[in-house]
Amino acid sequence: MSKKIEVLVTLPISEKLAEQITQVSDAISLTVFPARENTGIPEEIWGQAEVLYTMHTLPAPSQAPRLHWVQSYLSGVDKLLQQPLFLEDNSPALTSISGASAPQVAEHALTMLLALGHQIPKFSNLQRQKKWMAEKGKNYTPSELRGSTVGIVGYGSIGRQVAKLAQTFGAKILATKRDLMSLPDDGYAIEEDIGDPEGTLFTRLYPPQALRSMFKECDFVVVTVPKTEETTGMIAEKQLQAMKTSAYFVDISRGGVTDLAALDLALREGWIAGAALDVFAEEPLPEDHPLWSAPNLIITPHIAGFSANYMNRANQMFIENLKRYLTDEPMLNQVDLTRGY
């Protein structure tokens, strides 16, 4: 191949990771130019780029006439899709990093399920007050994962790994999925033993329209869907009221999927036993937001995807797609721009 493929990386990757990219093919001409804003990158670099690997840094359509493909460093691409580059009729292809974050996000979800089921918020509150729990036999009854029913809203790479971990603890899995006829996972998986590639771990599969029916059966609910027009506000009062008063709710999806006012009401009115949130419509969560004082709620600052292994996993995902791009094979995790993921 005589033509050089100009690859621009706007992430602060190490020399080792950069070398892994250049080793894919002699046809690759790699430029690593860390930048948070497109104005930080010279016009001549934008003008040459054919492939872009980035987090948030995107060119204006006129800046990058040769750009054919954008690999996002993130799983959620809803913010990228709002940018002018992807509002054009001839937008470049966009792929997400979905799958590279599945292990750590699923572990975070499992941590929340165990913490809620074993009433860690209650003990943390007692610890701050320097109080020993009185009448422990009366005031503490944990909810075990073994024998419980875990409902997963969104059966993508993260949802499937949550299912795998929860089932290992002895839980029954229910799930919702947009396309009920396509069970295998055709996205990226960092290892063969990750998730549920064939779609066999759940007991029952529901369409998104049947959330309330699934919620009625669940002891725990985990939300893992991407943010799209269809999923924005999909968890609201009606869905939360369908849950058992003894059930727990965990959201590791995207801010805006859950109606936070409805969740606050559900916690204060006792519709559910507790919740854990890692994502919010407004981040950071304002200091005066009522959720800070909601009972039995664990708040984490959108960190479920953090991992010391993430950059390496993401780089391997990019390399796999780069190989496919060079050989005109279908790339993994290609985003449907109209569907939003």
254 is catalytic: yes
Residue 267 to residues 234, 246, 282: CA-CA distances in angstroms? 18, 11, 20
Chain mean position to CA 200: 21
Reduce the DSSP state of residue 7 to 3 states and report it: strand
Of 144, 198, 269, 283, which is the active-site residue? 283
| Structure-derived torsion over alpha carbons of residues 324, 328, 332, 337, reported in degrees to the nearest 10 | 140
Among 41, 75, 44, 78, smallest CA distance to 57 is for: 41
283 is catalytic: yes
302 is catalytic: yes
> What is the number of other CB atoms lying within 10 angstroms of the CB of residue 317?
25
String of DSSP letters for 235-283: B-HHHHHTS-TT-EEEE-S-TTSB-HHHHHHHHHHTSSSEEEES--SSS
Where b means 16+ CB within 10 Å and e means fewer, 175-212 reads bbbbeeeeeebebbbbeeebbbbebebbeebbebeebe
Which residue's structure tokens are 């080793």?
23
Of 254, 282, 324, 339, which is the active-site residue? 254
CA distance between the termini of the chain: 32
Do residues 237 and 258 make contact, with C-beta atoms less than 8 angstroms apart? no
Of 237, 302, 320, 324, which is the active-site residue? 302
Q: How far apart are CA 236 and CA 258, in angstroms?
A: 6
Q: Which residues are catalytic?
A: 254, 283, 302
